[in-house]
Structure 1
Amino acid sequence: MSTSNPSTVPQFDAEAAASAREQRKQTIANSLAKRHRKEKLFQASGFMAVIAGLFFVVLLFSSILAKGLPAFWQTSMTLPITFDAQIIDAGPKPVQLAEENPAQYEQRYIAWQTKMGMVDWDALIVNAMIAKDPSIANYRDELSSLYTSSEAYRLRDMVFKDPSLIGQSKEINLLADANVDVWLAGNIDRSLPDAQQQLSPEIRQLADDLKAKGVLENSFNTNIFYSADSRSSPATSGLAGAFMGSLFMMLIVIFISIPIGVASAIYLEEFAPKNVLTDIIEVNINNLAAVPSIVFGLLGAAIFIGWMHLPLSAPLVGGLVLSLMTLPTVIITTRASLKAVPPSIRQAALGLGASKVQTVFHHVLPLALPGILTGAIIGVAQALGETAPLLLIGMSAFVASVPATPFDQSTALPVQIFLWQGNELRNFFEGRTAAAIIVLLALMISLNAFAVWLRKKFEVRW
């Protein structure tokens, strides 16, 4: 029987094992600490990115609000206008007599209108200003420079509409001239020499005195909402024409782009066979979604104006162009919403005997409705803010009237912002431009908020 040599038997070294365990623990601890540092660094980087993004958003909105909010208040004066019959000496409004034919009555009416146009309407305003502050009677010739020129025509139109005003007095709020508003608002350096000032020293002094006496005052500028653009009277420039143009275009987008886009998405996702043709269509739809919007403007100018001879600068053409631009977005978002519906819904409906059409329209489509509505509204909001395609179809033209139909010449809110930004009366229109941006942003934020609300209201969780 052989015995083993004790020197060849391995000895357990407790200290070495303990040291190895400590090294492994230290290595793991170092690795965990390194991973935790990287995770905290990543979280801090993400947090700082969010803070930086919010900072720039707040900076942008603060800048716009700081410049735009004051533009919603404008210098004006409320005067007791006396419609003096001695000044308005055109006589009463003609009434058709029994013995005269329509042509004779029309001739007398045109003659009356001509006399009304020759009335010194400015004298009514100047007399009212002197009646309110007799100390300015010696500045009669300068007083007409304090209010915008269109106010005299407004008085004329009031009498046209209601001749019974002749001989009566009425409190009327009149807008100050744009240059006067700029001076009193402090939007021009008062230390500039007279040669660089837009107003004469007498007008500037009159404006300051009347402001101190409360004759000239700041009031909320409702004119910006219900008046069209104006070059002859910048103080009365408003967004009504651009707003109606955008409204007509968005209605066209809603009634053309959304039904066609949703129907196309349903067919491609649920009914179309999977072959080369549908693959080509899908690739082209995805490519169209990435095409710059100005390309759609070129397409619209060539097709709708050059070939179909639709009216230039009309909301109809703008709506059609924006519909083409919005179609890919609506199709892609609708298909994504349909794909998000679990296949088990389709399988269960088909298993219970429903047809393919019943499965799609009774089960799949209602469940995908929140995403479809959200995508459609976001597409409309995107179209609302587009400018480049509208410039190429002539909607950058100056339009001084509010469009009554989609066939009338018009502009749009983003284009109106573009036009005001380049106006030569920069001191006045810089604030108006920011105010128009506020209105446009408010509409876009409202549309996006409506989309979020619809998603929350109709959202179904599986």
Structure 2
Amino acid sequence: MVDMTALTGGHTGEASTKRVRMRRAAETRLKAYGIIALALAAAALVALLGSVFTKAGGALTETYLTLPITLDAAELDPDGTNDPAIIRRADFSGLSKDMLKEQFPNAKSRSARRDLYDLISAGAAFELADKVSADTSLLGQTINYPFLASDVTDLYLKGSFGAFVSKPVEGNLTLTQDGEKYLVSSTADDFTKALERVKEGLIVEADKVRGQARLQNNGVVEFERRAEAAETAEEREKNTQLATARAAARDALLAAADDLEARAAAPGGDETLGEHNRSVLINVADGWLKMTRITPNGGVAEAVIPMARDVSASNSWGLYTTDLPEESRKVSDLQIIWIEELKSQGRVDVVFNSRFFTAGDSREPELAGIWGAVAGSFWTMLVTFLLAFPTGVLAAIYLEEFAPKNKLTDFVEVNINNLAAVPSIVFGLLGLSVFLGVFGVPRSAPLAGGIVLALMTLPTIIIASRAAIRAVPPSIRDAAVGLGASPLQATFHHVLPLAMPGILTGTIIGMAQALGETAPLIMIGMVAFIVDIPGSITDSASVLPVQVFRWSDFPERAFEARTSAAICVLLLFLVVMNAIAVFLRKRFERRW
């Protein structure tokens, strides 16, 4: 008789209990690792999308400056023809500049007028020309016309260059003219607050200088390392000299940072203000003064906009400071003053930027839109689908249903699987050398892009289609053939309809991948600057991912928001396409 206690003793002892605890601890750790991995992935996704969506918000609004303009018929239509074509060719740009000079007559120097003209977009004059040519009854009238603001004006009003801070004042302002400058003071402690803002800017500048010093120190470490590893005395001497020069630059920067921090920490102070300091502006007697030196009691200022009357003392004045020094922002102090005056007059309007979704590309950020790239993507995807879908499905049907199993078909299958893993830029090189170079397909056209993307998508469609066809039970084929259907009829009347949900799912996923491709399209010239909206597959065009790439490379800061908004549009397309794939799978999927 078997002793059951002996057989079960190994499962009830202390060793068994320990093994169970270890196994459960391992399971707990595995779950914890999975949760941590999911949390990190979710955090990265939230950070990415949050950054993109936050920046994209700046592209959803645009700014208009409503200003009165006289449409002089003698200047715009001297012959009185009322011909829209002739009116459109008139000098609306010069008319707009004259209007700005009338609004702000204090802009007398060349640099001041350049800043003045930069308040409105370069395209505003063309829009005015279109409006007047469409309604010639406006000739001879003075109208309040909403001029599209420039990217600089728009960014300032959206806070991209910092805030324009108004400091409350309590005392009376006293001005004493000293040549072209003014000695300013207040009966209260008003300038101390402005000086504190200037000192805050010194701290910020000191941090930047210390950052530059760290970069120089990195150079010192690197050149010292190279000197130690040098194989010749000449190379060692050269790297030693470079390390010494970097060390001197580092020490100078650190000394400058220490000086800035000491000036910021010292009580009181006497700061000379320049482009590297936060600006301090005074509004009095309808004029504006910019301080060039500030102390707790006042300082020295120069007239930016002359005062309307002589003032020796005033209890009606304003004190303002900027967040950024003038050298750190594209908008000048004079432009800030003009924009703030227009804002106080109620001439600034911020509206939804429908232009972004209806216009083509432009070198001016405020005029740039995404519609040209959307249309280009549509035509390119249309060509891709028309070429890749029928070809891929027919190839999958032949390989799965009719092709004999031999070395040739095995070779074809291996190469199809290999093509699915080929880098996309290789297909771009193929398109550049063969389709453009040999067959003469139009460069930078959706036709060329569609052919290249079709070749890239074809292996994915074939593999997905074969898997969907293989999933159809053999009994379906046998039943169709048993009822008298030919193999071709059985395939196209029975197998293909049942496999179509899986085929469409794979096709849409492959098309979504093609929609986001950039490298092959850059190779065939679809990175060109295209203003017009493409109307066919042979017109020059760009596509969404290439548009994102181009805008991200532009130096204008306003393109940053438009780049993020274009990414959002591209993500929306991808989400919709994948949602369609999920819907088709759920709607038509059959379980065998």
Range into which the TM-score falls when normalised by the shorter chain: 0.7 to 0.9
State the alpha-carbon separation in 2 of the partners of residues 217 and 441 from structure 1: 30
Of 125, 132, 149, which residue of structure 2 is paired with 1:159?
132
- Larger RCO (CA within 8 A; separation ≥ 6): 1
2:582 aligned partner: 452
The one-letter code of the counterpart of 1:156 is: A
2:29 aligned partner: 41
Asked whether 1:31 is paired with 2:4, we answer no
Tell me, yes or no, if the aligned pair for 2:100 and 2:116 is still in contact at 8 Å: no
2:431 aligned partner: 300
Q: Summarize deviations over 1:215-235 as a string: whole Å, max 9, x none.
A: 22322111111112212x331
Cα distance, 1:93 vs structure 2: 4.3
Q: Percent identity?
A: 44
1:243 aligned partner: 374
State the alpha-carbon separation in 2 of the partners of residues 336 and 90 from structure 1: 74
Change (3 A) 1:309 1:144: same
Three-state SS of the structure 1 residue aligned to 2:147 is strand
TM-score by length of 1: 0.84
Matches within 5 A, 1:48-447: 48-78=36-66, 83-93=71-81, 113=86, 116-121=88-93, 123=95, 127=99, 143-167=116-140, 173-188=146-161, 190-231=322-363, 233-425=364-556, 427-447=557-577
Change (3 A) 1:348 1:44: farther
The one-letter code of the counterpart of 1:445 is: V
Cα distance, 1:378 vs structure 2: 0.9
State the alpha-carbon separation in 1 of the partners of residues 528 and 134 from structure 2: 30
Q: Summarize deviations over 1:286-339 as a string: whole Å, max 9, x none.
A: 000000000000000001111112221111111111111111111111111111
Tell me, yes or no, if the aligned pair for 1:82 and 1:124 is still in contact at 8 Å: no
The one-letter code of the counterpart of 1:39 is: E
The one-letter code of the counterpart of 2:584 is: L
Cα distance, 1:170 vs structure 2: 6.8
Three-state SS of the structure 1 residue aligned to 2:415 is helix
Q: Which runs of 5+ in 1 are unaligned?
A: 1-9, 96-108
Higher share of residues assigned strand: 2
Change (3 A) 1:352 1:34: farther
Tell me, yes or no, if the aligned pair for 1:298 and 1:392 is still in contact at 8 Å: yes
Q: Which runs of 5+ in 2 are unaligned?
A: 163-321
State the alpha-carbon separation in 2 of the partners of residues 176 and 285 from structure 1: 54
Higher share of residues assigned helix: 1
Tell me, yes or no, if the aligned pair for 1:244 and 1:403 is still in contact at 8 Å: yes
Three-state SS of the structure 2 residue aligned to 1:307 is coil
Three-state SS of the structure 2 residue aligned to 1:301 is helix
TM-score by length of 2: 0.66
Which piece of structure 1 moves more, 404-413 or 84-93?
84-93
Cα distance, 1:249 vs structure 2: 0.2
Q: Summarize deviations over 1:16-52 as a string: whole Å, max 9, x none.
A: x869855531244433333333233223322322222
Q: Summarize deviations over 1:162-182 as a string: whole Å, max 9, x none.
A: 434435677754321011112
The one-letter code of the counterpart of 2:469 is: L
Q: Summarize deviations over 1:113-141 as a string: whole Å, max 9, x none.
A: 3x7524345536875998xxx7x565695
State the alpha-carbon separation in 1 of the partners of residues 327 and 54 from structure 2: 30
Q: Summarize deviations over 1:385-442 as a string: whole Å, max 9, x none.
A: 00000111111111222222221222111111111111111x2111111111111111
Q: Summarize deviations over 1:345-364 as a string: whole Å, max 9, x none.
A: 22222233322112211221
State the alpha-carbon separation in 1 of the partners of residues 8 and 355 from structure 2: 82
State the alpha-carbon separation in 1 of the partners of residues 367 and 41 from structure 2: 37
